[in-house]
Structures are given as C-alpha cells and as structure tokens.
Homo-oligomer: A and B are copies of this chain.
C-alpha cells in the first residue's frame, strides 16, 4: 500500500524525502537529536494507513484532472484556481489528521497557513501545475508524522498522571522530548 501512496506523490513531483525534511525540521526545534531516519520511519507508518492512501489517491486524481482542464464547470475553475472557499481539499486532508488526534489537526491548520518547505513550493502553482489538493495533503502528512512521533515519545516516557508540562510545551511536543 505504501508504494502506491509514494508513487502517487512522486507522480506529482513530491518526494517522500521532501516531506520527511519538513517534519524533521519542525521536530528538531524541540528535540535537536531527532534523526532523519526516525522521521522517515514515522512517515512511512502514516503512509501505510488505508485512509491515508485513499485520501492521497483521490486528491491527486482531482489535481491531475484540473491540470488537464477536463473537469466540468464550475468544479474545473474552483480546483484549477485553488478557490479559497472550495474547501474540499482541506476536508480530504483532515481525514488524514483525524487518525492522529487533535494535536495533528491544529498542527495541520498551522502548516496549511505557514507553508514551510515543499508545502510552500507546491502552493506556488508554477507553470500551470495544479496542487490544490497536494499542498493540503502534504501539510496533513507532516502533521500526522509529528503527532505520531509525539504520541510515541509520550508513550516511551510512560508517565500519564504526572507529566511535568512546562510553559514552552504548548506547541504540542512533550516536555520529556524537549530536554
């Protein structure tokens, strides 16, 4: 399953490495020791999920059809121009973040506006390319990867009832992880 997801991303000019890079840069703001390989493993686990695969495949085909100009109006215009009030691109992306809980959802919203790395590159829609779905899908994959890391770091720490949360743990990374 993972191959079909990775293949669809590549077809649209997104390498799994680019997504790992964005996730890894953010994770290292709090945990400088995080390795690229560790981030990659978490992303690969996310890409193995059936709902994630189907969200990617569905978004990719809609981007491709809009790029080819073959969708019926007014859908063609809405997707090709990345109409701000279209909204189905974000809806599809939340089907990825939902699996990883509320931490993932707000992180997605942040990335979707901030557009770091490959997310921003996609959003620039250069040379007639349409990435209306892809930028949200990639933001969702990054958010899901980070949430998966956080949940697993917390599980490792193991302490639920006495979590010593400090003031700067607000952004979603557990304090044990930032030390």
Contact = CB atoms under 8 A, between A and B. Distances in A.
A147 B89 CA distance: 16
Nearest to A114: B110
Contacts of A77: 161-163
Interface string A40-58: 0000000000110011011
B151 A50 contact: yes
Interface string A50-90: 11001101100110010000011111011001111111111
Given A81-B163, A81-B165, A87 B110 contact: no
Interface residues of A, number: 65
A23 interface: no
A174 B86 CA distance: 11
Contacts of A161: 73-74, 77
B84 A172 contact: yes
Contacts of A35: none
Contacts of A90: 102-103, 105-106
Given A50-B160, A94-B105, A105-B109, 14 more contacts: A51-B102, A54-B88, A57-B75, A61-B75, A84-B172, A85-B154, A87-B101, A89-B102, A91-B91, A91-B95, A95-B101, A99-B99, A109-B112, A123-B170
